[in-house]
Each structure stands twice: as C-alpha cells, then as structure tokens.
Structure 1
Amino acid sequence: MEVQLVVIALGCFLASIVNAALATGGIYITLAATTAVLPVGVAIPLQTVLALPSLLGRIYLCWRGINWQIVRMFLPMAAAGSMIGAGVFVALDEGIIALSLGILLLALIWFVPQGIKLGDPRRFLMVGGLHGFFGTIFGVGLFLQPAVLRTEMTRLQITGTLAVCLLGLDIVKSAGYVSFGFDYAHYLPHIGVAIVASLAGTWVGGRIGTRIPEDKFRLVFKWLITIVGLRLVTKGAGLLFAG
C-alpha cells in the first residue's frame, strides 16, 4: 500500500498544479497515477474524491470569475446523465473500461477539432448530459472542458466555472457509485494523502501559472496522455484476451 500512497500523492500534487495553473488537464495525471497502482474499476470512482481538494481550492481562488449561468445550465442534465452512467459503469467488464478509456484519451488528445466556439450558455444543457454520462463511466468527460475552453471567458473565469461544474457533478457521481456498492471507506488512506498533496499543489499552481509557457506545456502534456492512453489500451486488451 505504501507504493500506492506515494504514487497517488505525487499524481494529485502534479494534477493540482496543472489545474490551478492552466484551468484543466489534471484529471489525466490523476488517472495515470491511480490506474498505475489500482484496478481501473477502483481508480475511476476514486477520481471524484481525489479531485475534491483541488476543486475547492480553485473555487476559492477564482470565486469572482465564476459564470453562474453556465453552471445552472450544466448541472441538472449532468446529474441525470451521471446517474444513468453509474448503472452502465457497474455492468461493464474492467477490460472493456480500460480499453475504452485508453481509446477515449487518445481520441481526445489527437482528434478533437479545434476552433469551435460555444457562446450560448444554453448549449451547456446538452454538454452537461453528455459529460455526466461519459464522465461517470470513464472517469473523464468528453465535453465540458473543450466546451468551456471554446467560450470567450478569461482564464480566471474558465478555472472557476470548471471547478464549480465539476464539483457539483462529482458529488452526484460519488452518490451513484455508492448506490451501486462502491465503498470509499476502504480507501481512506488514499483519500487522505490526496487531500494534503492536492492542497499543496493548488497553492503552488496558483503562483506559477503565469510563468508556464503554455505551448511547451501542451506538447509535453499531449505526449504524457498518449503514453497513458496506450498503456490503458494494452492493459484492457490483455484483460479481455486473458478472460
């Protein structure tokens, strides 16, 4: 367990730095850390509580910039999509989840089109439903982050708005996982180290965000997630063939 705690603490620390500095992206690092030391069926439900300290920290730092109109549009449909997604999640084989998540990460990094703008907050009704459903199944959503990044909001507004939307959704996702039998109490040590590491990472990220060359970060980040995606595809295929 000691190795698990160290890897998760490091992953949450780095993820919180990325989230605080660049508004989004830390979820991929947390997923990489947790899936490296835990089964995928455990790692995905844990994302909701591992992200909690970082989300609260970002909300505190960016409170004045939150776009509440987008939040109100996003959360109701996201909650409905999440509850449906929780039922699908528990019915899937771990190999299928790992393989699908790996393919999803590779698609998000390499094939999501750029340049699409979302100026109308009402479009976040649809974004909420889709993100809630897929985010609950795979631990990472397809739609919210790209949609928010394609608005005209500033970095402060994006960071705060994303954090509130994701916090509300994570509460619903956690309830869905618990209702289908997942026991968070069994992983209290993992959650504890994540809280400490995430708070420290949020503090660091909030102070170095403007110093990070965003183009260089995105290049390194892109290849990091590519490696994680390929690893999950390999792991999922191995589990399916072994079964």
Structure 2
Amino acid sequence: MSFLELLSPLPPGLNLSLTLLSLLTSGISASVGIGGGTLLIMVMAQIMPAAALIPVHGMVQLGSNAGRAALTWPHIDRQVIAVFLPGVIVGALMAAWLLVRLPPGVLELCIAGFVLLSCWGPSLPKRSLGNKATFAAGAVTTLLSSLVGASGPLVGAFIKHSQTARLPRVATFAACMSLQHLSKAFVFGVAGFVFREWLGLMLAMIVAGLLGTWLGLKLLRGLSDQRFDTLFKWMLTLLALRLIWMGVSRLSA
C-alpha cells in the first residue's frame, strides 16, 4: 500500500490532488486575503462524502489560517480578537445543539446580500464596528461556519471595514477564521465524527497549505494597499455571486 493510499479513504490520485489544491488555495488566501477556503470546499464537495466535508475542510483551514496568523502575528488587531473569541464560543455552543435551521437557500442569499452591501454600499458607521458588533459577528459567523461552511465571505466583509491596510486585514481575518475552525473540532467531535480516518489527508493538506501561505505572503507584500483593497473587494463579490447562485438553485429545487 502506497503512502497516498494511507492518507484517507479516497483514492491515491484524489488525495494527491487535494494536497496540491490546498497549496494553491492557501496561496490565494494569503495574497488576496480571502477566497481560497471557498474554492477548496467547492472542489472537496464534488469528491468527498457529505458527512466528512465540513469537518475535514475545517481542520485543513484551521492549519492554513493558523499558519497565516503566525506569519503575520505583529499585524493582528488583538482588540478585535479579544471580543470576537467569546462570540466564537457562543456560536460553537449554539451549533452543537441547534435543532432549527432556515430553509435551504435562504441562508446563502442572506449572506450574499450582506457581503455585496459591505463591498458596494456605504461605509458602516463606527458604532457598528464596536465591541457588541464584533461579539455578534463572532457568534453568528461561527454558527454559520459549522452548519454550512460558508462564513468566510461574511467574516471577510466585517474585517474589511474594521481593517483598512492589507497586512492587518489578512492577519486579523486569519486569526478570526482560526478560532472559528478550531471550534469545529468541538462541534463535530460532539456530533461523533471520526477524525482519525482522515488524519493523514488533513496533515498533508495542512503542510501543503503552510507552503502556499508562505508563497502567498511574499506576493502580498509586493501589493499596494489600494490594489489589495480592489482585489479583496472583487474576490468577495465573486464569492457572493456564487452564494446567490447556490441559494437560488436550492430554493428552486
């Protein structure tokens, strides 16, 4: 049995493809600020069992985002993290025992609407970026992350308004997403998911993701704040359009 066969229940070729994809998508997130995780889950959804999709993706994204946060540690807005973390805890507890869910499609359309408003609407007033809003953002986006794995654009839209420079935005976003993905270990552990079967693939994708993060950050440091802001805004917009397509598809199914 080859090394690739030992990584997960998937065929060796798919294990290798997902590992290389992790390198690519981590590089995208590090250089553009967002988008890699969503691209990764889109591909994983085509080839992985539904029960394993969100927990495995969550652990891989934990490694990618934690690596990015570590490499940009001095730029993290610690005040935002201090208030965001309690919200993450509340959101994770809600996700672990939540019984009521919105109809399929509605959630995606709501997220897309908020993201597009954040990108192209008027700037949020300062009071909407205070501690209460940050706590609420932590709780709500963590809940969504555990249920549908689609919270990245929502967190990105919030961070876009609280951090204007490229490095603090990437660093703070990575720290927030690390906390959210860490909460998934608790949520899916409570739900009985067996991480052991997928441990090899998760570790391989995390290592590849760290390499992609290092390469992406080298590219990021060569971008101006203005060009980065433009790329970040358009990446969020594309993700929102994808969510609209998903939401309409599910509502019409």
User: How does the TM-score come out when normalised to structure 1?
Assistant: 0.79
2:97 equivalent to 1:87: yes
Q: 52, 75, 80: which is aligned to 2:85?
A: 75
The AA in structure 2 aligned to 1:121 is: G
**For residue 124 of structure 1, what is the aligned residue in structure 2?**
134
Matched, 1:164 2:175: yes
Pairwise CA distance, 1:4: 2.7
2:36 match: 26
- Larger deviation: 203-212 or 215-224? 215-224
The answer to whether the 8 Å contact 2:115/2:157 transfers is no
CA distance in 2, matches of 1:171, 1:11: 21
Distance 1:114 1:11 in 2: 33
How does 1:1-243 map onto structure 2 within 5 Å?
1-88=11-98, 114-117=121-124, 119=126, 120-122=129-131, 123-141=133-151, 143-210=154-221, 214=228, 215=230, 226=241, 230=245
In the alignment, structure 1 segments of 5+ residues that lack a partner are none
* Residue identity (%): 19
Per-residue CA deviations over 1:54-79 (Å, capped at 9, x if unaligned) read: 22221222111111111011111221
Match of 2:4 in 1: none
Once residues 121 and 108 of structure 2 are traced to their aligned partners in structure 1, the CA distance between those partners, rounded to angstroms, is: 21
Post-superposition shift, 1:144?
2.0
Instruction: Using the TM superposition, give the Cα deviation of residue 46 of structure 1 relative to its aligned residue in structure 2, in angstroms.
Output: 1.5
Task: Tell me which amino acid in the other structure corresponds to 1:172.
Answer: S
- Residue 10 of structure 1 aligns with an amino acid whose one-letter code is L
After TM superposition, the structure 1 stretch with the greater mean CA deviation from structure 2, 99-108 or 169-178, is 99-108
Q: Deviations over 1:163-211 (max 9, x none)?
A: 2222222222211111111111111232022122201111110111255
Cα separation, partners in 2 of 1:152 and 1:110, compared to 1, 3 Å: closer
Name the CA shift for 1:23/1:195 in 2 (closer, same or farther; >3 Å). Answer: same
Decide whether the 8 Å contact of 1:20 with 1:58 is kept in 2.
yes
Distance in 1 (alpha carbons) for counterparts of 2:116 and 2:135? 26
Shift of 1:88: 3.5
**Structure 2, unaligned runs of 5 or more:** 1-10
* Native 8 Å contact 2:34 2:232 kept in 1: no
Distance in 1 (alpha carbons) for counterparts of 2:235 and 2:85: 32
Q: 1:59 to 1:224 in 2, by over 3 A?
A: closer
